[in-house]
Copies of this chain bind each other. A is one copy, B any other.
Amino acid sequence: MTQQVTHQGLDEAVRQSPKKWVYLFSEGNATMRNLLGGKGAGVSEMTNAGLPVPPGFTITTEACNAYYEHQKQFPLGTWDQVLAALHIIETQTGKGFGSRENPLLVSVRSGAKFSMPGMMDTVLNLGINDETVQGLIALTNDERFAYDAYRRFIQMFSKIVLDTDPHDFELVLEHYKNNAGVLTDADIPASDLKQIVGEFKQIAERQSGEPFPTDVFQQLHKAIEAVFSSWNNKRAIDYRNFNRIPHNLGTAVNIQSMVFGNMGNTSGTGVAFTRNPATGEKVLYGEYLLNAQGEDVVAGIRTPSPISRLQQDLPGVYEQFKEIANRLEQHYHDIQDLEFTVEQGRLYMLQTRSAKRNAGAAVKVAVDMVEEGLITPEEAVKRVEPSQVYQLLLPRFEDASKRRAEAEGRLLAKGLNASPGAAYGKAIFDADRAEALGKAGTPVVLVRPETSPDDVHGMLVARGILTARGGATSHAAVVARGLGLPCVAGCEEIRVHEAEHLFRVVGSDVVIHEGEDISIDGATGEVFAGMIKTVEADFANETDLKKLLDWADMFRHLGVWANADYPRDAQRAVAFGAQGIGLCRTEHMFMEPERLPIVQKMILAPTYEERQSALDQLLPFQRSDFKGIFEAMVNPRTGEGYPVVIRLIDPPLHEFLPSYEDLLVEVTRLETLGGHEAELKEKTALLEAIGAIREMNPMLGLRGCRLGLTFPEINVMQTRAILEAAAELAAQGKKLHPKIMIPLVGHVNELKEVRRQLQTVADEIAEKSGGRIDYKFGTMIELPRAALTADKIAREADFFSFGTNDLTQTTFGFSRDDAEGKFLLHYVDGLDVPGLKDKVKILPSNPFQTLDREGVGQLIQMAVEKGRSVNPHLELGICGEHGGDPDSIEFCSEIGLDYVSCSPFRVPIARLAAAQAALSHAEKDR
């Protein structure tokens, strides 16, 4: 090789330019992703590791950016450097670019820092024209091969560089295949291919308005420009927007000498993974085709062989490949996704990159590699996506069963993937009937137009939820996610007819009646008729996952608690590794069928005495509820209990009452009919009582601590229930830490007064039990004013819990119930605007799913700072839905909260996300 000499040419070109725009593969390495893109850095690293990589070079991302800054002109010196580098490649390969005798062909590929699949295709075989094709024929002695390469080149170049319609080319190929009576492109005779090349050039000229470039340098120049331009095509911009990739990174361009896998039976091409990306098993996994180019593998005309067969076909190559695969995995400390080509018995590596893998594989490989000593536990923790952990824990359709259902045409409709997991069961259209069947052990899928708190008892026993209306944060979706239940929401392709107990599939005759089996997949939004078997996850047996999460626990600073309203949820949360209950809502307890009538009596009581008597009836229920939760959170061995934050009554009272409108209809009907006087009188009185309680905007009305201040006796009953339950267990030697949370505080005086009222009750019970209960009082920060005046509020609170659902509602002025169905999803997905082709996105993401750092986050940060400034012992957590969202968890970790609290099923996610956040800060601090 004459590297010395030729490097000089490039060095000289660089010297005469403002900047080095071009790097030979031998000049780059894996750390240069910013400059060379992922692909360029990968082949450079392989080149320098001494692996067989066809020589080539990379034009930098900086050149791309400069190209845009200079009105789409190549920045000064770029072309000279390209030519110099190309000359080096010529020297290295012993071939000449545009040479009639021994022509060098190259591939031209884009390659940005982050993989952007489909952003731009590859141009192969560049450098071919009527003259060089002759050289190719002479060299390979294979006219068919040469003309086939030529026509492929024209097709690709036309599509990608000249932006012509590929259809015309296909028509020509069809025509020749018909004439020759053959079925595949590969069977077209060489003589026909020569004619096809001619016709292709004419098509390209007709469509582009210019003769097809025969000058190989012109071909190269145009191909590079096309790659640069592709960075800002709509597809690429959309992709970056969606994946939050910055728009100013630019793409690199890789120019690499071609090798051919289609030069006979000692040639071939394939792809392989260093381990099985579906299972994580440590075995070379992939496939290849002999005598083929990359395209042919994709085309699916011939069936590729599994990679293990290569051992028989080309044993030397196989051994070499296996050794290289192993080296690359050792080198990158991760499963690699490899592309290779064998040209007449010689192996060339074309690409290596980290392999995409499914959830199970991700966890297994990370843990295996730690045990193999390949990576550290820290790296393992960083490498698994929190969402993969979630997927692992959910039931999913058994593959065969689902494939059968698809084959049988049983896919009925698709809705929003509101809560992942798969389920089957009898379609039931009413919560009461669902409850009855569910309790009897029948698998049930609750199907409703939409759900409300009235349906919760049915949801609690259902295997899955299907609604026709409502968005990703509708009641159904939120409750389902909280319960870890699969949910398909807003499935507009079905019409639910409640009264008839059936749903119809829009645009078809299909009707599903109550009691018929259906299956739903909340991860995809699919709804099937009939049963599809599911495979259950079992956390206790997910040993790899448990190992990974144990490592995660070593790194995280954030505590991970769970939101749980029932002992069953609390048990599940502890099993998933929760270290406390961050939110126990007491109102769900009020909804239970045997209690609701008492609750309603309490609400509608005309006097204090009648209200108090209803509350006296509720006290034992609540006490036993809390006892159940506390017991679930006590370590049976040590008797030590995790903290439990219990929120006092919060929702507007109408949620516990019959629907005003249903009653209005009944009363109107009775009035119109006449007679029924006693019933009419009773119903009218109830209608009026509920009417007096009704609110225009219940979300901003009489709820939270306002309710407690208006009816202090409710709070007193709840506090009594909490502490009496704690006292009973404390008497058994258990150590409990109940935390009483006062909701919806906006002014410190609210908290001060409620606390004053309850402190007396609390002190009395605590004293009676000999001071063995460690209870605290705190508040939810869920109104902007609470955050703004957190310094005042913190003086009266032992802890803050950020209620980010409500805080998001009030900070944005969005009612979730209304916003999601009406405009919020359009805000996130993009609005249709007259006169604009593209949708206009208003919000980067749904602020009810991912915490809005700019607005809501600003308030939280303010509250953290103000709160800690006056009360350094203030305990700080978050209990909104965001507590289970990795991006939001990162924020919580950044601002130094003590814990996040999320639904039990998200606890493993949160443990991992919290660890990743801590590791990422540590890195930034380095």
Q: Which residues of A contact B (CB under 8 A)?
A: 608, 661, 664-665, 668-669, 671-673, 695-702, 706, 709-710, 712-713, 744, 746-747, 749-750, 753, 757, 782-785, 788-789, 792, 806, 809-815, 817-819, 822-823, 826-827, 831, 833-834, 840-843, 852, 854-856, 858-859
**Given A811-B784, A813-B744, A859-B784, does the pair A823, B695 have CB atoms closer than 8 Å?**
no
Q: How far is the CB of A632 from chain B (nearest CB, A)?
A: 32
Nearest-Cβ distance from residue A478 to partner chain B, whole angstroms: 14
A834 touches B702 (CB 8 A): no
A695 neighbours in B (Cβ, 8 Å): 815, 817-818, 822
Report 11 cross-chain contacts, Cβ distance below 8 Å, ordered by A residue: A695-B817, A697-B698, A698-B818, A700-B809, A702-B822, A712-B834, A747-B855, A753-B840, A785-B852, A788-B859, A792-B854
- Provided the pairs A665-B668, A672-B668 are in contact, do residues A788 and B811 lie with their beta carbons within 8 angstroms? yes
Report which of B668, B811, B819, B840 forms a contact with A668, defined as CB distance below 8 A: B668
Report the bound CA distance from A749 to B823 in whole Å: 14
Cβ B813 vs Cβ A813 within 8 A: no
User: Which residues of chain B come closer than 8 Å to A750, judged between CB atoms?
Assistant: 842
Q: Which residues of B contact A785 (CB under 8 A)?
A: 811-813, 852, 855-856
* Nearest-CB residue, chain B, relative to A783: B813
A588–B135 Cα distance when bound, in Å, is 83
* New contact pairs (20) apart from A665-B668, A788-B855, A810-B811, CB-CB < 8 Å: A669-B672, A695-B818, A696-B815, A697-B818, A702-B819, A709-B823, A709-B826, A710-B831, A713-B834, A746-B814, A746-B855, A747-B812, A747-B842, A749-B841, A753-B842, A783-B813, A784-B813, A785-B852, A785-B855, A810-B813
The answer to whether B672 and A831 touch across the interface, beta carbons within 8 angstroms, is no
Contact check, A749 vs B842: say whether CB atoms are below 8 A apart: yes
What is the CB-to-nearest-CB distance from A819 to chain B, in angstroms, rounded to a whole number? 7
B699 touches A698 (CB 8 A): no
Closest-CB distance, A697 to chain B (whole angstroms):
4
Residues of B within 8 A of A709 (CB): 823, 826-827, 831, 842
CB distance from A254 to the nearest CB of B (A): 37
Distance (whole angstroms) from the CB of A666 to the closest CB of chain B: 9
A696 near B817: Cβ-Cβ < 8 Å = yes
Q: How far is the CB of A189 from chain B (nearest CB, A)?
A: 57
Contact residues in B for A854 (Cβ distance below 8 Å): 788-789, 792
- In Å, the complex CA distance between A858 and B786 comes to 12
Cα separation A806 to B608 with both chains bound (whole Å): 35
With the chains together, A672 CA to B665 CA distance in Å? 10
Contact A698 B696 (CB under 8 A): yes
Residues of B within 8 A of A841 (CB): 749
B700 near A819: Cβ-Cβ < 8 Å: yes
* A855 and B699 contacting across the interface, CB-CB below 8 Å: no
Instruction: Report yes or no: B842 in contact with A702, Cβ–Cβ below 8 A.
Output: no
Q: Which residues of B contact A672 (CB under 8 A)?
A: 668-669, 672-673
Q: How far is the CA of A267 from the CA of B700 in the complex (A)?
A: 67
* Closest beta carbon of chain B to A810's beta carbon, Å: 5
* Cross-chain contact B789 with A855 (CB below 8 angstroms): yes
- Residue of B at shortest CB range from A808? B785
Q: Which partner residue on chain B sits nearest A745 by CB separation?
A: B813
A240 to chain B, nearest CB (A): 17
Closest 8 CB pairs of A and B: A700-B815, A697-B815, A701-B818, A785-B855, A784-B784, A696-B817, A672-B672, A695-B818
Is the CB–CB distance between A813 and B700 below 8 Å? yes
Q: How far is the CB of A745 from chain B (nearest CB, A)?
A: 10
Name the CB-closest residue of B to A695. B818
The answer to whether A746 and B788 touch (CB under 8 A), given A701-B818, A819-B700, A842-B709, is no
Alpha-carbon distance A294/B811, docked complex (angstroms): 61
Which residue in chain B gives the minimum CB-CB distance to A709?
A: B831
A668-B695 Cα distance, complex, nearest whole Å: 23
| Contact with A665, one of B664, B702, B783, B822 (Cβ below 8 angstroms) | B664
CA distance A747 to B811 in the complex (A): 11
Known: A700-B700, A785-B855, A813-B806. Is A843-B747 also a contact (CB below 8 A)?
yes
Chain B residues with CB under 8 Å of A746's CB are 811-814, 855
State in angstroms the CA–CA spacing of A819 and B702 once bound together: 7
Q: Which residues on the B side are within 8 Å of A701 (C-beta)?
A: 815, 818-819, 822
Closest residue of chain B to A792 (Cβ to Cβ) is B854
Q: How far is the CA of A706 from the CA of B823 in the complex (A)?
A: 7
The residues of B that contact A843 with a CB separation of less than 8 Å are 747, 749
In the docked arrangement, what's the CA distance between A532 and B806, Å?
Answer: 51
When distances are taken between beta carbons in the complex, the residues of chain B under 8 Å from A699 are 696-697, 700, 813, 815
Assess the A700–B818 pair: CB atoms within 8 A.
yes
Q: Which residues of B contact A831 (CB under 8 A)?
A: 709-710, 753
Chain B residues, CB < 8 A from A859 = 784, 788
Q: Which residue of B lies closest to A813 (CB)?
A: B783
Compute how far the CA of A697 lies from the CA of B699 in the bound complex, rounded to whole angstroms: 7
CB distance from A476 to the nearest CB of B (A): 15
Asked if A702 meets B858 with Cβ closer than 8 Å, knowing A664-B664, A753-B840, the reply is: no
Chain B residues with CB under 8 A of A826: 709-710
Bound-state Cα–Cα, A757 to B836, Å = 10
Q: How far is the CB of A289 from chain B (nearest CB, A)?
A: 49
Tell me whether A833 and B788 are in contact in the complex, defined as CB-CB below 8 angstroms, given that A664-B661, A709-B823, A747-B843 are known contacts. Answer: no
CB neighbours of A855 from chain B (8 A): 746-747, 784-785, 788-789
Closest-CB distance, A790 to chain B (whole angstroms): 11
Residues of B within 8 A of A833 (CB): 712, 753, 757
Q: Which residues of B contact A747 (CB under 8 A)?
A: 812, 842-843, 855
